[in-house]
C-alpha cells in the first residue's frame, strides 16, 4: 500500500497526486452557493488543497434548507458540480467531485427528497447528511425513521461540535441503534474547534459505531482541509486499521451506497479488511462489519 512507503509526510509534488487515498464526504467546495468559496477561482484553490491533502474523491455538500432554505436546489448543485469538474479537468487537477448536500434538519426533508429538491450523498439515494442546530437537542427519531422508510440512512454530522452531544456522546449509541451513521470533523480531532469538541471527537472515535471522518472544509484559510493530519493522528492514537476505516473505507461505502462498517475491538481475520489495505479498486469482501 502506498501509504506505508510514503508515510504521508514531506512535500507533495504534482507527480504524487495520483496517490490520493482519502474520500471526503462533507465539503463546501462549490463556488457561489453557500458559505464556501465565493468564486470558481477560490473553489479551484480549495480543490488544490484537497488534492494536496490526498483526497481523490469529494462529495460537494453545500448547505440545503436552514438559513439557505430553498436557494440551493438539487439541480443547481448538479450544475455547479458539473462545471467544477470541467474546470478541474481543464486545470489537470485530479479530483473527482460528486454532488451532495449538507441538509439542515427540517420536517420537509422526505417530501423534498421525493420532489427532487434535497440531495442525498453522492446523489445515490442511500445516505443523507443531516446537520443539527448546535445549541439545542432535538429528537431526530421521527425523521430518521421516516428516512429509513424510503431506504435512506441518516448520517449525523459533527456531533462533537454540538453543545449537548459533545458532553453526552453516549446519546449517539441510541442514534446508531436507530440506523444512523456518525460523521466527525477532521479538524475536531486536531483541536481546531476547541478542547471540548476535541475530547468528544476522540471519545466518539473510541465507540463501537459506524463512523466517518470528513473535512467539512469551507476554503483555503480558516477551515481548510486537514484529513492527512487527522489520519496520521488516528494512526498514532488508535491504529492504522481504525484510521483507514474512518477515512477511507466507510467514506467509500457512502459513495457506493453500501453499509457502513463498525469499529468493534476484535482482531481481524485474514482478508477481512483487504480494501482498507489496498484502495486500488478491489471489491469489498462482503462483510458488513469491520472488526479489528
Catalog residues that contact Fe ion under the rule CB under 5 A: 102, 216
Rounded distance between C-alpha atoms, residue 281 and residue 196, angstroms: 37
Q: Where are the beta strands (DSSP E) in 126-179?
A: 127-131, 153-157
How many whole angstroms separate alpha carbon 291 and alpha carbon 289? 6
Cell numbers that stand for 149 in this block: 422508510
For the CB of residue 23, give the shortest distance to Fe ion in the complex, in Å. Answer: 16
Nearer to Fe ion, 102 or 262 (CB): 102
- Residue 156's nearest CA partner among 242, 36, 165 is 165
Taking the C-alpha atoms of residue 121 and residue 98, their distance in angstroms, rounded to an integer, is 8
State the chain's maximal CA–CA distance in angstroms: 49
Q: Which is nearer to Fe ion, 101 or 210 (CB)?
A: 101
258 Rama sector, left if φ>0, alpha if ψ -120 to 50, beta otherwise = beta
Q: What is the nearest approach in angstroms of Fe ion to the Cβ of residue 218? A: 8
Distance in Å, CB of 214 to Fe ion, minimum: 9
Instruction: Output 216 or 240, the one with its CB closest to Fe ion.
Output: 216
CB of 270 to Fe ion, least distance (A): 38
| Cα–Cα dist 163/17, whole Å | 38
Task: Write the CB contacts of 174 (distance below 8 Å, at least 6 apart in sequence).
Answer: none
> Cell for 157?
454530522
Q: Extract the C-alpha cell encoding 183.
A: 460523521
Residue with Cβ nearer Fe ion (64 or 241): 64
Closer residue to Fe ion, CB minimum distance, 216 or 262: 216
Q: How far is the CB of 8 from Fe ion (least distance, A)?
A: 24
Rounded to the nearest whole angstrom, what is the least distance from the CB of residue 215 to Fe ion in the complex? 9
Give the residue at shortest CB distance from Fe ion. 102
Nearer to Fe ion, 30 or 113 (CB): 30
Q: In the complex, what is the shortest distance from the CB of residue 183 to Fe ion, in angstroms, rounded to a whole number?
A: 10
CA distance 255 to 260: 11
- The edge-to-edge listing of strands for the beta sheet with 181-185 is 63-64, 102-104, 127-131, 153-157, 181-185, 211-214
Q: Which is nearer to Fe ion, 126 or 158 (CB)?
A: 158
Amino acid at each position: 500500500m502506498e501509504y506505508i512507503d510514503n508515510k504521508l509526510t514531506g512535500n507533495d509534488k504534482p507527480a504524487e497526486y495520483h496517490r490520493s487515498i482519502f474520500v471526503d464526504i462533507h465539503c463546501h467546495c462549490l463556488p457561489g452557493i453557500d458559505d464556501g468559496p465565493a468564486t470558481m477561482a477560490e473553489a479551484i484553490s480549495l480543490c488544490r488543497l484537497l488534492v494536496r491533502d490526498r483526497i481523490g474523491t469529494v462529495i460537494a455538500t453545500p448547505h440545503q434548507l436552514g438559513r439557505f432554505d430553498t436557494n440551493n436546489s438539487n439541480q443547481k448543485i448538479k450544475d455547479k458540480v458539473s462545471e467544477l469538474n470541467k474546470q478541474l479537468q481543464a486545470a489537470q487537477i485530479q479530483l473527482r467531485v460528486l454532488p451532495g448536500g449538507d441538509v439542515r434538519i427540517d420536517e420537509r426533508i422526505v417530501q423534498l427528497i421525493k420532489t427532487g429538491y434535497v440531495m442525498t450523498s453522492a446523489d445515490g439515494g442511500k445516505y443523507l447528511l443531516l446537520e443539527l442546530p448546535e445549541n439545542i437537542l432535538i429528537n431526530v427519531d421521527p425523521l430518521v425513521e421516516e428516512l429509513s422508510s424510503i431506504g435512506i440512512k441518516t448520517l449525523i454530522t459533527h456531533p462533537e461540535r454540538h453543545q449537548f452531544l459533545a458532553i453526552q456522546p453516549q446519546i449517539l449509541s441510541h442514534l446508531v441503534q436507530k440506523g444512523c451513521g456518525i460523521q466527525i470533523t477532521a479538524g475536531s480531532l486536531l483541536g481546531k474547534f476547541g478542547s471540548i469538541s476535541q475530547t468528544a471527537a476522540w471519545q466518539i472515535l473510541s465507540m463501537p459505531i459506524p463512523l466517518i471522518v470528513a473535512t467539512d472544509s469551507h476554503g483555503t484559510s480558516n477551515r481548510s482541509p486537514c484529513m492527512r493530519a487527522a489520519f496520521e493522528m488516528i494512526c498514532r492514537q488508535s491504529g492504522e486499521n481504525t484510521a483507514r476505516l474512518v477515512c477511507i473505507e466507510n467514506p467509500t461505502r457512502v459513495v457506493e451506497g453500501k453499509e457502513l462498517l463498525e469499529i468493534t475491538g476484535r482482531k481481524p481475520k485474514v482478508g477481512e479488511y483487504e480494501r482498507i489495505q489496498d484502495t486500488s479498486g478491489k471489491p469489498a469482501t462482503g462483510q458488513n462489519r469491520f472488526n479489528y
